[in-house]
Structure 1
Amino acid sequence: MDPQNTNMNTEAKMMMNHAKTLRLHTGNLVSRSRLKKKCPASPSEELQDCIQATLSDWFSTTKPPSKDFPDTLDCSSSQETEAITPEEREELKVSVKLFLCESLQSSIRDAVEMACQTLAVSQLDSVIIAPPGPLEGDSQTLAHLQPAWEELEALVRSQKIAAIGTSDLDKDLLEQLYNWAQVKPSSNQVNLASCCVMPPDLTAFAKEFDIQLLTHNDPKELMSAATFQEAVQVGTQDLNMANWRLEWVLRYSIIVKSRGIIKAKGYLVSARKASP
């Protein structure tokens, strides 16, 4: 092995061991064909491939400082998404789905700030929230959704987000949220794996209150803790990542409005080391 690569790997592993927070940016998947499988079987598999490839890329190219090891480690693909220029911003729509793995409201603001900074925009056009699932045996409730929605509303008021939406709400829960919320949901995603046809009552309610119904194929849990740790271990050449926890995953799409095509797509991921 090249001695220079060995030194870089040693430095990178020292940085990873010192860090308390890990931030990943996969770069633009539309223009990148580095993933092991050209067409991942599922969103979960795509994310797992992305984490492995991004960390492997970072480990092989990083030249970290030898003195100071940061608490927050930013690991990006060498093929990062091109920043959106002010001239083309009007022609593009930036859509985001945010998967919260833990019930931390600060995660929402952190994720939105990171997305704006990464893509060089001052505002995201739409954000759909997928909060962490309720405890085993419990069903989703308005009380479960309210803290996350209030944080999204604050980001709308500060003009960081233009429109906010939900995921997997039935008609009753969507109606409860709509009646309670100050900033109304503009969309609701429905998983067609769980219902092949849109429920008529949901369709009628959404039409009456101008809520867009979208479809998706994301699993309830985008990535398990074990799968995340496995992906990081592979990408970092077998570092022990057992005490790392996934905080949130943000998937973004940059769409050319006039043509309806996806110009860029990628993931931002945040994880933190659990206290011993």
Structure 2
Amino acid sequence: MDMQNSNSINTDAKMLLDHAKTLRFHTGNLVSRSRLKKKCPGSPTEELQDCIQATLSDWISTTKPSSEDFPDTLDCFVPQETDVITPEEREEVKVSAKLFLCESVQSSIRDAVEMACQTLAVSQLDSVIIAPPGPLENDSQTLAHLQPAWEELETLVKSQQIAAIGTSDLDKDLLEQLYNWAQVKPSSNQVNLASCCVMPPDLTAFAKEFDIQLLTHNDPKELMSAGTFQETMQDGLQDGLQDLNVADWRLEWVLRYNVIVKSRGIIKSKGYLVSARKASP
């Protein structure tokens, strides 16, 4: 690409980013994507950082010359990297997702699920696990803390956009409270083995009695801080865009999805959807 075309693309990307109020990333299929810097990232946070940087950089380099239309919502993705599920293969795969809420905005749940369905060209996700925004420091999760997000998930189950819903990092007492209160019961609960080397016996017994699947994970409590997200965006900007102000951008939610071939138990595709919003002046 010659210098003139590069400058034109950078100018166009800068105008689009300056105007946009919402920024959404689709990383594409990480199983087949070859442009990521780290083939074996050390943590989920590092993997997400690498994905956002690569997606932003690729999107900037393929941005078309600007028109008069500057959308409020900007979708950053590379078309050839998308992993649409065809109607013929839908019955052969399971689509699962984990949704990390960075802000307590219930509309984020619906937005994330609808974007996942649209991105993968499916009408329903087989399972969604929710990771609510962390409670205040030295505080612990409570049922009241979980209820608003769970009610939104229940609405999506009733509208058949999700088949099953699950939780993350609930101890036996809180899982029991949620189970007894919820209209749509949790089908699974993730346990972080970094803080718990062995499944607690009381949690195991309760999950077995009520047919709740216990899963393990290694995600941090906060997948990505506001500061880390802004640094990640800055690193993904090319020469000529380094002066773009990223301090106003706030991470809203992150959805990580897996498409698994049922008969073989292998991951066909994996990716992240990310939404960020520019803070009002």
Q: TM-score, normalized by length of structure 2?
A: 0.97
1:263 maps to 2:264: no
Cross-structure match for 1:86: 87
**Higher mean C-alpha deviation, range 254-263 or range 234-243:** 234-243
Listed as ranges, the matches of 1:7-156 within 5 Å are 7-156=8-157
Deviations 1:112-158 (A, max 9, x none): 00000000000000000000000112110000000000000000000
1:117 maps to a residue whose letter is: Q
Distance in 1 (CA, whole Å) between partners of 2:180 and 2:229 is 37
Distance in 2 (CA, whole Å) between partners of 1:96 and 1:259 is 19
Distance in 1 (CA, whole Å) between partners of 2:106 and 2:98 is 15
- The count of aligned residue pairs is 276
Distance in 2 (CA, whole Å) between partners of 1:71 and 1:234 is 23
Contact 2:24 2:273 in 1 (8 A): yes
* SS of equivalent residue, structure 1 residue 193: coil
* SS of equivalent residue, structure 2 residue 94: strand
Contact 2:33 2:81 in 1 (8 A): no
1:267 maps to a residue whose letter is: Y
TM-fit CA distance, 1:165 = 0.1
1:241 maps to 2:242: no
* SS of equivalent residue, structure 1 residue 259: coil
Identical-pair percentage: 85
Contact 2:167 2:188 in 1 (8 A): yes
**Higher mean C-alpha deviation, range 114-123 or range 28-37:** 28-37
TM-fit CA distance, 1:78 = 4.2
Q: Runs of 5+ in structure 1 lacking a partner? A: none
Distance in 2 (CA, whole Å) between partners of 1:78 and 1:176 is 44
1:135 maps to a residue whose letter is: L
Deviations 1:184-235 (A, max 9, x none): 0000000000000000000000000000000000000000111100111111
Distance in 2 (CA, whole Å) between partners of 1:108 and 1:68 is 28
1:24 maps to a residue whose letter is: F
Contact 2:258 2:270 in 1 (8 A): yes
Distance in 2 (CA, whole Å) between partners of 1:255 and 1:261 is 6
Listed as ranges, the matches of 1:93-242 within 5 Å are 93-237=94-238, 238=242, 239-242=244-247
Deviations 1:143-190 (A, max 9, x none): 000000000000000000000000000000000000000000000000
TM-fit CA distance, 1:18 = 0.5
1:268 maps to a residue whose letter is: L
Contact 2:8 2:65 in 1 (8 A): no
Deviations 1:12-62 (A, max 9, x none): 011001000001000000001211111000000000000000000000011
1:232 maps to a residue whose letter is: M
Distance in 2 (CA, whole Å) between partners of 1:118 and 1:78 is 11
TM-fit CA distance, 1:236 = 2.0
TM-fit CA distance, 1:64 = 4.7
Contact 1:57 1:78 in 2 (8 A): no
TM-fit CA distance, 1:66 = 2.0
Cross-structure match for 1:254: 259
Q: Runs of 5+ in structure 2 lacking a partner? A: none
Contact 1:108 1:152 in 2 (8 A): yes
Q: TM-score, normalized by length of structure 1?
A: 0.98
